[in-house]
């Protein structure tokens, strides 16, 4: 668990990637925590250097069916291989999800073996049918912001006016009914 207080999003040829990980179902690999740990190891194949992973956070389900179990969540930050595009990495993330037993469920926000979300790919911005970067809801989700603030509190994400830590504080204050004017 390293802290990257001064992380940048890298260059076009070596973009820094942020992936959010979540699981709330056991898999053939074990518990949700074990699944997250193994998935982080799998993500290393897309990195040119050591990757940084947050602690695994236990979080209540958000916008999920009532019977949903708590989630294990983490974020992983790494420098992408030069040959990977955001779309190419997204394809690889979906392959890993399937390897861990994820199937497409028609229920919104259903429980899942493994969910890998591409939060950020360097300074890239995208809005296509299959990919929106930065991830459109990541900064409204404490289960993304808290682990990200653990490892990169001073990072500023594209299209966001403040740091990750400030985004987390704003979100927590809004949940507590505090208005920042």
- Active-site residue list: 102, 112, 115, 117
> Which residues, other chains included, contact 40 with Cβ-Cβ below 8 Å and sequence gap of 6+?
21, 51, 53, 74, 76
Residues in the chain: 181
Spell 111-141 as b/e; 16+ CB within 10 A means b: bbbbbbbbbbbbbbeeeeeebebbbeebbeb
For residue 59, the SS3 value is strand
What are the C-alpha distances in Å from 6 to residues 3, 29, 83?
A: 9, 34, 25
For residue 172, the SS3 value is helix
User: What is the dihedral sign for C-alpha 175, 146, 88, 79?
Assistant: positive
């Amino acid at each position: 668990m390293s802290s990257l207080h001064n992380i940048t999003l890298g260059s076009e040829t070596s973009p820094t990637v942020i992936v959010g990980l979540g699981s709330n179902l056991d898999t053939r690999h074990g518990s949700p925590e074990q699944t997250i740990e193994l998935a982080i190891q799998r993500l290393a194949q897309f990195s040119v250097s050591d990757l940084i992973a947050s602690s695994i956070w236990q979080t209540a389900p958000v916008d999920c069916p009532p019977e949903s179990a708590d989630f294990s969540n983490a974020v992983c930050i790494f420098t992408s291989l030069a040959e990977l595009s955001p779309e190419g990495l997204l394809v690889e993330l979906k392959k890993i999800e399937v390897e861990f037993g994820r199937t497409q469920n028609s229920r919104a926000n259903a429980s899942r073996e493994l969910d890998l979300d591409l939060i950020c790919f360097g300074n890239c911005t995208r809005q296509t049918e299959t990919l929106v970067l930065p991830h459109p809801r990541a900064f409204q989700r404490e289960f993304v912001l808290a682990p990200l603030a653990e490892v990169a509190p001073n990072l500023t994400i594209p299209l966001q006016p403040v740091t990750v830590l400030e985004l987390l504080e704003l979100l927590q204050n809004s949940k507590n009914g505090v208005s920042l004017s």
